[in-house]
Amino acid sequence: MSKAHHRPKDPAALRQQLLDSAAQIIATRGLPALTLDKVVKESGISKGGLQHHFATRQALIDGVFETLQDQMRAEIDQEMAREPQAQGRATRAYIRACARLMPDHEQEMNRALMAAMMADPYLRDQWAEFINQLPQDPGDEAISRQRLLCRLAADGMWFAALCGYHTQAPEQRRWIVERLLELAERVK
Protein backbone atom coordinates (compact mmCIF):
# COMPACT_ATOMS: atom_id res chain seq x y z
CA MET A 1 0.00 0.00 0.00
CA SER A 2 1.14 3.53 -0.70
CA LYS A 3 1.69 6.17 1.94
CA ALA A 4 -1.50 7.91 0.81
CA HIS A 5 -3.57 5.02 2.17
CA HIS A 6 -1.97 5.34 5.61
CA ARG A 7 -1.99 9.12 5.77
CA PRO A 8 -4.63 10.47 8.19
CA LYS A 9 -7.24 12.62 6.50
CA ASP A 10 -6.87 16.23 7.59
CA PRO A 11 -8.35 18.47 4.89
CA ALA A 12 -6.95 21.68 6.38
CA ALA A 13 -3.43 20.22 6.60
CA LEU A 14 -3.64 18.84 3.04
CA ARG A 15 -4.84 22.20 1.74
CA GLN A 16 -1.97 23.96 3.52
CA GLN A 17 0.54 21.44 2.17
CA LEU A 18 -0.72 22.16 -1.36
CA LEU A 19 -0.45 25.92 -0.79
CA ASP A 20 3.06 25.52 0.64
CA SER A 21 4.11 23.46 -2.36
CA ALA A 22 2.65 26.01 -4.77
CA ALA A 23 4.37 28.83 -2.89
CA GLN A 24 7.67 26.93 -3.05
CA ILE A 25 7.33 26.55 -6.82
CA ILE A 26 6.44 30.22 -7.24
CA ALA A 27 9.35 31.32 -5.04
CA THR A 28 11.97 29.16 -6.71
CA ARG A 29 10.83 29.02 -10.33
CA GLY A 30 8.38 31.91 -10.75
CA LEU A 31 4.64 32.03 -11.30
CA PRO A 32 4.76 30.92 -14.96
CA ALA A 33 6.30 27.60 -13.80
CA LEU A 34 3.33 26.83 -11.55
CA THR A 35 1.32 23.87 -12.87
CA LEU A 36 -1.04 21.47 -11.16
CA ASP A 37 1.24 18.58 -12.09
CA LYS A 38 4.24 20.26 -10.44
CA VAL A 39 2.22 20.87 -7.28
CA VAL A 40 1.18 17.20 -7.21
CA LYS A 41 4.82 16.13 -7.57
CA GLU A 42 6.11 18.69 -5.02
CA SER A 43 3.41 17.94 -2.41
CA GLY A 44 3.10 14.17 -2.83
CA ILE A 45 -0.68 14.57 -2.83
CA SER A 46 -2.72 12.96 -5.58
CA LYS A 47 -4.13 14.96 -8.45
CA GLY A 48 -7.61 14.16 -7.15
CA GLY A 49 -6.65 15.51 -3.73
CA LEU A 50 -5.32 18.68 -5.34
CA GLN A 51 -8.42 19.14 -7.46
CA HIS A 52 -10.64 18.58 -4.44
CA HIS A 53 -9.13 21.71 -2.86
CA PHE A 54 -8.15 23.65 -5.99
CA ALA A 55 -10.05 22.78 -9.17
CA THR A 56 -7.91 25.05 -11.37
CA ARG A 57 -4.50 26.66 -11.49
CA GLN A 58 -6.18 30.03 -10.94
CA ALA A 59 -7.87 28.73 -7.78
CA LEU A 60 -4.45 27.66 -6.54
CA ILE A 61 -2.93 31.06 -7.35
CA ASP A 62 -5.85 32.72 -5.57
CA GLY A 63 -5.23 30.50 -2.55
CA VAL A 64 -1.54 31.45 -2.39
CA PHE A 65 -2.48 35.13 -2.83
CA GLU A 66 -5.07 34.88 -0.04
CA THR A 67 -2.48 33.25 2.20
CA LEU A 68 -0.14 36.19 1.61
CA GLN A 69 -2.95 38.55 2.56
CA ASP A 70 -3.82 36.52 5.66
CA GLN A 71 -0.19 36.53 6.79
CA MET A 72 0.13 40.28 6.29
CA ARG A 73 -3.14 40.91 8.14
CA ALA A 74 -2.01 38.68 11.02
CA GLU A 75 1.32 40.52 11.19
CA ILE A 76 -0.45 43.90 11.28
CA ASP A 77 -2.85 42.63 13.98
CA GLN A 78 0.10 41.40 16.08
CA GLU A 79 1.88 44.73 15.69
CA MET A 80 -1.29 46.60 16.68
CA ALA A 81 -1.70 44.41 19.77
CA ARG A 82 1.85 45.33 20.88
CA GLU A 83 1.22 49.07 20.47
CA PRO A 84 0.52 50.78 23.81
CA GLN A 85 -0.45 54.11 22.24
CA ALA A 86 -3.80 54.10 20.43
CA GLN A 87 -3.24 57.23 18.32
CA GLY A 88 -1.68 56.15 15.01
CA ARG A 89 -1.56 52.46 16.05
CA ALA A 90 -2.85 51.01 12.76
CA THR A 91 -0.51 53.14 10.67
CA ARG A 92 2.55 52.27 12.77
CA ALA A 93 1.65 48.58 12.56
CA TYR A 94 1.35 48.86 8.77
CA ILE A 95 4.73 50.62 8.56
CA ARG A 96 6.43 47.92 10.63
CA ALA A 97 4.86 45.11 8.60
CA CYS A 98 5.93 46.67 5.30
CA ALA A 99 9.39 47.79 6.42
CA ARG A 100 10.58 44.57 8.06
CA LEU A 101 13.31 42.69 6.27
CA MET A 102 11.99 39.61 4.49
CA PRO A 103 13.82 36.30 4.24
CA ASP A 104 14.92 35.49 0.68
CA HIS A 105 12.26 32.80 0.20
CA GLU A 106 9.45 35.15 1.21
CA GLN A 107 10.89 37.92 -0.93
CA GLU A 108 11.04 35.66 -4.00
CA MET A 109 7.42 34.54 -3.55
CA ASN A 110 6.18 38.09 -2.97
CA ARG A 111 8.10 39.27 -6.02
CA ALA A 112 6.45 36.61 -8.21
CA LEU A 113 3.00 37.33 -6.80
CA MET A 114 3.37 41.09 -7.23
CA ALA A 115 4.50 40.60 -10.82
CA ALA A 116 1.40 38.47 -11.42
CA MET A 117 -0.74 41.11 -9.76
CA MET A 118 0.57 43.82 -12.07
CA ALA A 119 -0.39 41.73 -15.09
CA ASP A 120 -3.74 40.44 -13.80
CA PRO A 121 -6.58 42.94 -13.17
CA TYR A 122 -8.43 40.41 -10.99
CA LEU A 123 -5.48 39.96 -8.61
CA ARG A 124 -4.86 43.72 -8.65
CA ASP A 125 -8.49 44.31 -7.60
CA GLN A 126 -8.16 41.67 -4.87
CA TRP A 127 -5.04 43.35 -3.51
CA ALA A 128 -6.61 46.81 -3.62
CA GLU A 129 -9.67 45.54 -1.76
CA PHE A 130 -7.44 43.90 0.85
CA ILE A 131 -5.31 47.02 1.40
CA ASN A 132 -8.38 49.28 1.55
CA GLN A 133 -9.96 47.07 4.23
CA LEU A 134 -6.98 47.15 6.58
CA PRO A 135 -7.49 49.05 9.84
CA GLN A 136 -7.20 52.82 9.61
CA ASP A 137 -6.61 55.35 12.34
CA PRO A 138 -9.25 57.98 13.01
CA GLY A 139 -8.18 61.58 12.74
CA ASP A 140 -8.84 64.92 11.17
CA GLU A 141 -8.06 65.59 7.52
CA ALA A 142 -4.49 66.77 8.13
CA ILE A 143 -3.40 63.76 10.20
CA SER A 144 -5.23 61.36 7.85
CA ARG A 145 -3.26 62.76 4.89
CA GLN A 146 -0.03 62.50 6.84
CA ARG A 147 -0.75 58.88 7.82
CA LEU A 148 -1.54 58.07 4.19
CA LEU A 149 1.83 59.54 3.25
CA CYS A 150 3.46 57.22 5.82
CA ARG A 151 1.65 54.18 4.41
CA LEU A 152 2.61 55.07 0.86
CA ALA A 153 6.25 55.47 1.93
CA ALA A 154 6.08 52.06 3.66
CA ASP A 155 4.61 50.57 0.47
CA GLY A 156 7.55 52.06 -1.40
CA MET A 157 10.03 50.50 1.01
CA TRP A 158 8.36 47.11 0.60
CA PHE A 159 8.28 47.33 -3.19
CA ALA A 160 11.86 48.63 -3.38
CA ALA A 161 13.00 45.66 -1.27
CA LEU A 162 11.28 43.29 -3.70
CA CYS A 163 12.90 44.99 -6.69
CA GLY A 164 16.31 45.34 -5.07
CA TYR A 165 16.69 49.08 -5.51
CA HIS A 166 17.13 51.98 -3.07
CA THR A 167 18.93 49.64 -0.71
CA GLN A 168 19.84 51.17 2.62
CA ALA A 169 22.35 50.38 5.30
CA PRO A 170 20.63 49.05 8.45
CA GLU A 171 21.09 52.34 10.36
CA GLN A 172 19.66 54.33 7.46
CA ARG A 173 16.67 51.97 7.22
CA ARG A 174 16.04 52.27 10.97
CA TRP A 175 16.19 56.07 10.68
CA ILE A 176 13.61 56.07 7.84
CA VAL A 177 11.27 53.75 9.73
CA GLU A 178 11.58 55.83 12.92
CA ARG A 179 10.72 59.04 11.02
CA LEU A 180 7.66 57.36 9.48
CA LEU A 181 6.56 56.08 12.89
CA GLU A 182 6.90 59.60 14.31
CA LEU A 183 4.94 61.11 11.43
CA ALA A 184 2.10 58.64 12.03
CA GLU A 185 1.58 60.18 15.48
CA ARG A 186 1.59 63.91 14.90
CA VAL A 187 0.89 66.65 12.41
CA LYS A 188 3.68 69.07 11.54
d(CA 77, CA 73): 6
Domains detected in the chain:
1-55 (1.10.10.60), 76-188 (1.10.357.10)
Predicted local distance difference test score (pLDDT) of residue 2: 46
Q: Is the model's pLDDT at 163 over the cut of 60? A: yes
Mean pLDDT, residues 150-158: 95
Q: 85-116, pLDDT tens digit by residue?
A: 888 999 999 999 999 988 888 888 888 888 88
| pTM to 2 decimal places | 0.83
d(CA 3, CA 18): 17
Mean pLDDT, residues 121-141: 92
Predicted local distance difference test score (pLDDT) of residue 188: 56
